Structure 1
Amino acid sequence: MNDKAYEDAIVKSWHKNVDAWTNAVRGAQISSRVTVTDAAIVNAVVARAPTSVLDLGCGEGWLVRALTDLGLSAAGLDVVRDLIAKASARGGKFKVLSYQEFAAGKWPHKVDCVVCNFSLLGKELVGDVLRAMPAIIGASGHCIIQTLHPAYVGEPYCDGWRQGSWSGFSSDFVEPPPWYFRTLSSWLSLFADCGLHLKELIEPLDTDTGQPASLIFVLASAGKA
């Protein structure tokens, strides 16, 4: 498959797994999220003391609700209409918007923080999204990305498309989405190319294994000290 076909397959998979994903998140079925990564992303956002937050690729909306409960003004975007319907049913600010539309400037509001929580799975489209970030976060805002830790993917350490897996998830999940793996140096080069500067690198630890459960990048517009 070419890059576009892979990107399309990601969205197709999420359309097919709306109910399974919503049940897994709301039923606390994903142990790494319950024990480490959910709290890690909330803490990373709160540490930057934003007043307004945009969750890009918000899914069923748990992060927007968590941040709203902490007194922040939070909104979520996702291309999957049924996920946005699930999110909206529990209250909050949500909108159907594709990454292509976001990259083209269809989100008109500046915010203090854009969060991408395990939601940057593609290749070229991720670069398009990140190039749009400086205009959204301005000179004083931040972009915070949580992703898989590149040292623990169990495959050759080189950029490339990988086949997804629902291993460890319920049998309700179908057609796992592919995802594009980047080395740490590749991520950093991409950020620089997109006008973003790394402010902080966080490696949340799994207390059971002592290994990093994820990797969190805290970014600002290039040139910010």
Structure 2
Amino acid sequence: MSDSEFSDKKILQSWHSNAAPWIRAIDGATIASRKLVTDGAIVAAVLDHRPGSVLDVGCGEGWLARALAINGIEVLGIDAVPELLEAARRRAGPGESYRQLSYEALAAGELRQRFDLMVCNFSLIGDTSVARLVAAAPALLNPGGHLLVQTLHPLVACGDTEYRDGWRHGSWDGFSEDFRDPAPWYFRTLESWLALYRRIGLELVLVQEPLHPETGRPASLILSGRVSADNRV
């Protein structure tokens, strides 16, 4: 596995290439698992924490930020892809704002704000960039704030390959022919996801495995960790 083929940089390149078809896919609700399970699951998980302010990391075209803002939450969405942010800004309503910012810049402290909750909805698919971003969470959250992540369920996403951390080839199977250059992604076991939280002293308060109503298998994994006053940076 060469660095040129499997890297965080390659992921970003793929999203630049596929921003337009992604927006069309979201607008057309063509991703069945999102429509049936995962969109509602992440909105409910956020609302259960009753945050006043949310940082939506990897916000894309802004669907989640809009869903939260209509519930009276102040939301800042960040993304590194200009075309996705332009779509989000065109549709923004009260309570929503957006900023172009890379994960590296966020982890480096460029955002001088604190939030009640930081949500990453299927947006943590890299390696080192993800580890650094998660490590920066306490500095971005108010005491008692939460880091909430929805990701592919490791047991399901593993497929027939070995159940261990490592880069995997991406695929647009099930999507339209408009998609190209699929992004690689970094597979993490459940143990590895939990270790990311423990490493920065977050108290794990929520583990959910939303089930797909047709297959009966987990459609995703949702993790939430709470920042205490003791480990706030």
TM range (shorter): over 0.9
Moved more, 147-156 or 55-64: 147-156
Cα distance, 1:82 vs structure 2: 1.2
Q: Is contact 2:4–2:10 with CA below 8 Å preserved after alignment?
A: no
In structure 2, the partner of 1:195 is: 201
Q: Percent identity?
A: 47
CA RMSD of aligned residues (A): 1.5
TM-score normalised by length of structure 2: 0.93
Q: Does 1:148 align with 2:149?
A: no
- Residues in 2 aligned to 1:93 and 1:77: alpha-carbon distance in whole angstroms: 9
1:4–1:102 CA distance, 2 compared to 1 (3 A): farther
Alignment of 1:15-94 (within 5 A): 15-91=16-92, 92-94=96-98
One-letter code aligned to 2:11? I
Cα distance, 1:135 vs structure 2: 1.2
TM-score normalised by length of structure 1: 0.96
Which of the numbers 110, 114, 120 marks the counterpart of 1:110? Answer: 114
Q: Does 1:100 align with 2:101?
A: no
One-letter code aligned to 1:73? E
Which stretches in structure 2 are left out of the alignment for 5+ residues?
none
1:127–1:19 CA distance, 2 compared to 1 (3 A): same
- Residues in 2 aligned to 1:137 and 1:4: alpha-carbon distance in whole angstroms: 34
- Residues in 1 aligned to 2:180 and 2:212: alpha-carbon distance in whole angstroms: 27
Moved more, 41-50 or 155-164: 155-164
One-letter code aligned to 2:98? F
Q: Does 1:139 align with 2:140?
A: no
Cα distance, 1:100 vs structure 2: 0.5
Moved more, 35-44 or 213-222: 213-222
Q: Is contact 2:6–2:167 with CA below 8 Å preserved after alignment?
A: no
Which stretches in structure 1 are left out of the alignment for 5+ residues?
none
Q: Is contact 2:146–2:227 with CA below 8 Å preserved after alignment?
A: yes
Q: Is contact 1:3–1:124 with CA below 8 Å preserved after alignment?
A: no
